[in-house]
Structure 1
Amino acid sequence: MENLELSEGKEGLPYNLLAEKLVLGSILTIPQAIVLASEKLPIEAFYLQSHQIIYKALLLLYAEGKTIDYINLITWLQDNGLLMQIGGTQVLLDLLSQLNQSSNLEEYIALIYEKYIRRALIKLGEEMIESGYLTKIPLETIFTKLERKFFLIAEEKPMKYLVSVEEGLHQILQEIEEGLKLPQVPGLKTTFTDFDFMIQGFQKSDLVIIAGRPSMGKTAFAFTIARNVARNHGMGVIFFSLEMTRQQLLYRLLASEVEIPNTRLRSSKIKRTEWIKINAIINNLSELKFYIDDTPNLSIGEIKLKIKTLGIELSKQIGLVVIDYLQLLEGLKSTDNRVQEISKITRALKKLARELNLPIIVLSQLSRNVESRINKRPMLSDLRESGCISFSLTERTFESILSTRNSILSWNGSSLIREKITHFRITGRKPTYKVQTSLGWSLLISSHHKILTKKGWKRIDKLTLADLICFKLILLSHNKFSITWDKILKITYQDLVPVYDLEISQFSNYLTNHLIIHNSIEQDADIVIMLYRDEYYNKNTVEKDIIEIIVAKHRNGPVGSTKLKFDPKYLRFFNLKDSMKIV
């Protein structure tokens, strides 16, 4: 490999000029190189502004499906008035003249990325020094802000090298052999037999959402799972409680174990004979590697730091993390749009679960729509922030919707329902894509939104030309519709355009220009579990003290439901035989 020396920019910042030239030159001469570069290098990784402009142009050409070569690049730069800004055609010719070897491309990319991270650290260091002089700002606020930025830098890791099929299959074979020595359920068991069988235990790197309306027993159920995992697997378990205090949870735990009402424990109305049982159970519980953190307003970065710190102190693996609950987590960035903020938090939690290689269980509220339905059993569409859903809309789509009497059509699975728009605001300029169908329908949409396809919901950036998308709803009778499908003609990057945020009250989708758009926080979860107690809504139900555990989404297995016996006095759960129904 060629010796690429460290260079310094005008402000003395580290960068590697030759590596930047070699990578850009490689992309121009070997178009397939854009795939590897785009996976590992953000635009800001290039130090020179001219290189950033060239790299961005190459990415846009790639996104539009155009051939990446000198002619298309220079045409794009000319059309956008950027050719002279990069230094003219001579700069591009200089890139083409670079001698490079495609076998060294990953090493050149790694060099660029390393300098990019070093510049970010230098910038953070300067910000730390400046923050030290801001005496009017509390230290806690400064530490939280700087810690968050540090973790964002630390998480910016280059992607791992490709793994061959041979290596991957050998790893799977080893896992299967190890599984033969283990019990039937490979993941972390909850001791609820039917439930464990359905989900095969909680697997490493899984993000699990447990959702329900208030008073359904979410906290009690999750706390029981955490205790059972700590007891049965001997692993460290961390329970982050952002709502209840450590003392409240421990009183619940003790009351459940000793079968003495919580009120009697708190008031110290204990019989002399009960003290023996209390002391014995406390000694037993004290042996568990079960940890409770009741710090309010935690961020993902703070949670990550606490998990890693505790893991080092224990010199043991943390096996499970539980967070109660999602809507109380502090967002990654300050924003007026809490729905989008929650979506970013769930993506960050999934990323954290994969990085730490352990299951993370997060509790979540369900929307108020459950209360307004005759059938109160929850559905996936109920899983969102504060009973409303947010959509990012382009200006054209936004104006089209407002022209329909300030309302919008939502699809409930069988019919269209007109919803009132409750709120809207502009959220800035964002990248948008144009989806075009073979029959001429088109839509401008941001990349994170999902669209209804014949194979289910898919994000725009995951669509392929092989996908069939909904383009027309045919009225049959009694307000019933059938869906017909159309082929995707092409998906092209458009531009940074003003994007609006729209809130409606019920379903997590809307109909626009013959396409059904969806947005929901469940997209990042591997498992979505919903709790339902019929007794809460129907006092005359035959299912007294029964809680239904609904597995509404299971990325790697079946969905369905199972029932447990619920003891409301001590907040305990017990198995019921022959109660499982898998679909």
Structure 2
Amino acid sequence: MQYKHLLLPQNYLAEEILLGTIFIYPDICNGLISFIKPEYFFLEHNKIICTCLQIAYKKKKVNFYEILETLEEIKILQTIGGIQKINNLMKQSQNFVSSFDDINFYLKEMNILLRQNYIKRLMIQYGFNIIKLGYIPKISYKKIYNKALLYLNTTQNNIPKSTKSNLQNLITEFILIKGIKQQDEKIKTEKDSLTSGFKEFDKITQGLSKGDLIIIAGRPSTGKTSFAINIICNILWKIKTIGIYFFSLEMSSKQILHKLISIKSHIPIRKIIKGKLYTLEWTKIIELCYQLINTNLQIDDNSDVSIDYIEYTTYLLKKKNFNIDLIVIDYLQLIQSNLTNKYNRSQELSYITRKLKLLAQTLNLPILTLSQLNRNIENRTDKTPILSDLKESGCISHFVNTYLKNKYEYKINCINIIDPLLNSTIIKNKYVSISKSIPKLTLSIEYEFCHQINKLKKILITYHHKLILYKNWLRQYFLVENSLLMKCYELQHLKKIKYSKVKYYFLAVINFSNYSKLYDIYIPESFHFFCQNIILHNSIEQDADIIIMIYNKEHKENYINKNKKDEILDLIICKNRNGPTGSFKLLFIPETTLFENYSNPV
């Protein structure tokens, strides 16, 4: 039959036979349910039935009555056609399935047919999306390329990989390739987790692992770029075949070359720049340059770089089979996001770090990014950097009541000041003191969950927000019913000093609420605040796997060795998804920008 318009690839008959057969023979579901996905089905009611089948399978109750009960619970049974629809599916399958012996093979082939049609529909949809992107005048071709590549990768992930291998191929691989693999085994092991060359750093972080986003943060002139170049030098001289791509948004390629030569030759960088060198020093630099020529280090010193440009460049190099094992970016705040003006710079940086994390996972390599710390550290007595100096976030519902100084309740989207705020670090004897601050409010759209404490008290927060329990903070997605929450009540002392008494209540019910407007609260320190008398946390959300902060502490050794121009720098590993956090010291020589392992003097 010819239609006026082309129909999307689908086979509704195969869908009905597949579902009807599972209803008649529910025992075959065990070997088949892992291969069937709701998105394979073209008709919406078949998608719903398949989803209910998966829910029943998890309950280990795959039968006709369980499916009907599930459909009735979500009040959608009549929408898909009622019981008559299920009966029609079973009748349809009886007409086509002849015997029980070959039913497994028959259904698997039918599932393959549905999957093939689904992949074709994906390619049609993605192709249409790419055409629409091409007609948008203000979008860059790099962004279109990245989006098209993402579509192709998504489609490729849905295509099953062949797992078949014959005996001849296995013997060939074992005899001929085994010898080559043994020779390259040491290099491959080293590339799996690159070592920085600094003992304490590698001991804590286990090196620079593939797929990790590593951030080196510090205030200006603390040696961030020099530290990154030292790591590059150590890696290049340890593994000659390593490939490193350096996006330098602040320094020129010539300045980076000067630092590389100074670090490895131990010649002061000012002498290299001025060219006032002795014959032995010049000979040493020439030998060093010959070694640098044989390395695989690429430097991109384009100062006007966007996150789309970084993605486009790295994807293109990978496509051309260029060897990249590490990406270094100097530095994060100089990367452009190409977002619209409705987003502030903090949201843009969050978007950039998320894209960098996804890029590291997609390319399966570590990305080392430098970042500036904010100015909060300069306003504190203790200058030791903390995670909140890098970024802060935490969302609560826009209509949740928050207490102000005059003790009346206001909607959060009607105010710019929230008071009081609680600093949980000074909880003593079940009383907590109150501190004040003026946060900033930023709008966002997120999923929110309703936490019912009793009939009158409830709170709505996002899944990554924290609440204080009996002894520690816990994120929403770790909470369970009957969790013990802390609540505070303000008391008036005889000396007119305000305190808050702490009481504990059980969390009754947790329900998904909706996808709605929320406000992100940014405050300058690691404070916490009240919402419905529940203590909430201004949680820190980072896409980085490892965060290292460089801190120039005033060490006694620096005063003792005043004649020497070496400095002792503290490096604090504030976050480490691969292991523990910690701190260590490194010796920094400003004349050559060289970092060395520090050993305590005896």
**What corresponds to 2:121 in structure 1?**
119
8 Å CA contact 2:134, 2:144 repeated in 1: no
Out of 529, 541, 550, the position equivalent to 1:521 is: 541
Q: TM-score of the superposition, structure 2-length normalised?
A: 0.70
Shift of 1:533: 0.7
Equivalent position amino acid for 1:380 in 2: L
* Secondary structure at 1:376 match in 2: coil
Shift of 1:186: 8.7
Out of 384, 407, 413, the position equivalent to 2:418 is: 407
Shift of 1:129: 4.4
**What corresponds to 1:168 in structure 2?**
none
**What corresponds to 1:167 in structure 2?**
none
**What corresponds to 1:432 in structure 2?**
448
Q: TM-score of the superposition, structure 1-length normalised?
A: 0.72
User: What CA distance in whole angstroms lies between the structure 1 residues aligned with 2:220 and 2:203?
Assistant: 27
**What whole-Å deviation, never above 9, does each CA across 1:530-574 have from its counterpart, x for those lacking one?**
1111259x9979897111111122233232111001122332211
Within a 5 Å distance, the mapping from 1:462-541 to structure 2 comes to 462-465=477-480, 468=483, 470-472=485-487, 488-507=507-526, 510-513=529-532, 514-522=534-542, 524-535=543-554
- Shift in alpha-carbon separation, 1:319–1:132, aligned structure 2, 3 A: closer
Within a 5 Å distance, the mapping from 1:284-363 to structure 2 comes to 284-295=291-302, 303=310, 306-307=313-314, 309-311=316-318, 316=323, 318-331=324-337, 336-363=343-370
**What corresponds to 1:567 in structure 2?**
589
User: What CA distance in whole angstroms lies between the structure 2 residues aligned with 1:59 and 1:9?
Assistant: 37
Equivalent position amino acid for 2:8 in 1: L
User: What CA distance in whole angstroms lies between the structure 2 residues aligned with 1:486 and 1:103?
Assistant: 56
Out of 575, 580, 597, the position equivalent to 1:553 is: 575
8 Å CA contact 1:389, 1:508 repeated in 2: no
Out of 462, 468, 489, the position equivalent to 1:446 is: 462
- Shift in alpha-carbon separation, 1:57–1:405, aligned structure 2, 3 A: farther
Out of 144, 148, 151, the position equivalent to 1:150 is: 148
- Shift in alpha-carbon separation, 1:61–1:468, aligned structure 2, 3 A: farther
**What whole-Å deviation, never above 9, does each CA across 1:3-59 have from its counterpart, x for those lacking one?**
xxxxx997533345457667877999989x99x999996x87764455567788999
- Shift in alpha-carbon separation, 1:327–1:467, aligned structure 2, 3 A: farther
Within a 5 Å distance, the mapping from 1:211-290 to structure 2 comes to 211-234=217-240, 235-262=242-269, 264-270=271-277, 274-290=281-297
Q: Which shows bigger deviation, 204-213 or 394-403?
A: 394-403
Q: Unaligned 5+ residue runs, structure 1?
A: 1-7, 162-177
* Secondary structure at 2:71 match in 1: helix
Equivalent position amino acid for 1:147 in 2: Y
8 Å CA contact 2:424, 2:527 repeated in 1: no
Equivalent position amino acid for 1:391 in 2: C
Equivalent position amino acid for 1:495 in 2: N
8 Å CA contact 1:420, 1:504 repeated in 2: yes
- Shift in alpha-carbon separation, 1:244–1:480, aligned structure 2, 3 A: farther
- Shift in alpha-carbon separation, 1:354–1:402, aligned structure 2, 3 A: closer
How many residues of Structure 1 are paired with residues of Structure 2 in the alignment?
Answer: 537
* Secondary structure at 2:425 match in 1: coil
User: What CA distance in whole angstroms lies between the structure 2 residues aligned with 1:19 and 1:301?
Assistant: 42
Shift of 1:221: 1.2
RMSD between superposed Cα atoms in Å: 5.2
Out of 376, 380, 384, the position equivalent to 1:373 is: 380
User: What CA distance in whole angstroms lies between the structure 2 residues aligned with 1:488 and 1:274?
Assistant: 72
**What corresponds to 1:166 in structure 2?**
none
% identity of equivalent residues: 32
* Secondary structure at 1:14 match in 2: coil
Out of 209, 212, 222, the position equivalent to 2:215 is: 209
8 Å CA contact 1:565, 1:576 repeated in 2: yes
8 Å CA contact 1:221, 1:573 repeated in 2: yes
**What whole-Å deviation, never above 9, does each CA across 1:56-102 have from its counterpart, x for those lacking one?**
89999999xxx974234345346xxx955x56665566567776989
User: What CA distance in whole angstroms lies between the structure 1 residues aligned with 2:107 and 2:435?
Assistant: 53
Out of 389, 392, 395, the position equivalent to 1:391 is: 395
Equivalent position amino acid for 1:202 in 2: L
* Secondary structure at 1:506 match in 2: coil
User: What CA distance in whole angstroms lies between the structure 1 residues aligned with 2:33 and 2:530?
Assistant: 37
Shift of 1:224: 1.5
Q: Which shows bigger deviation, 488-497 or 260-269?
A: 260-269
- Shift in alpha-carbon separation, 1:83–1:449, aligned structure 2, 3 A: farther
Equivalent position amino acid for 1:530 in 2: M
* Secondary structure at 1:144 match in 2: helix
**What whole-Å deviation, never above 9, does each CA across 1:161-202 have from its counterpart, x for those lacking one?**
9xxxxxxxxxxxxxxxx9999999994222212222222322
8 Å CA contact 2:193, 2:207 repeated in 1: yes
**What whole-Å deviation, never above 9, does each CA across 1:330-362 have from its counterpart, x for those lacking one?**
559656155455445444444443444333323
Q: Which shows bigger deviation, 558-567 or 473-482?
A: 473-482
Shift of 1:279: 1.7
Q: Which shows bigger deviation, 415-424 or 52-61?
A: 52-61
Q: Which shows bigger deviation, 486-495 or 10-19?
A: 10-19
User: What CA distance in whole angstroms lies between the structure 2 residues aligned with 1:24 and 1:519?
Assistant: 45
Q: Which shows bigger deviation, 228-237 or 152-161?
A: 152-161
Shift of 1:232: 1.0
* Secondary structure at 1:521 match in 2: coil
8 Å CA contact 2:586, 2:598 repeated in 1: yes
User: What CA distance in whole angstroms lies between the structure 2 residues aligned with 1:133 and 1:306?
Assistant: 23
**What whole-Å deviation, never above 9, does each CA across 1:406-456 have from its counterpart, x for those lacking one?**
21525453365332133444x45x432223458985321233444455696
Shift of 1:504: 3.2
**What corresponds to 1:73 in structure 2?**
71
Equivalent position amino acid for 2:223 in 1: G
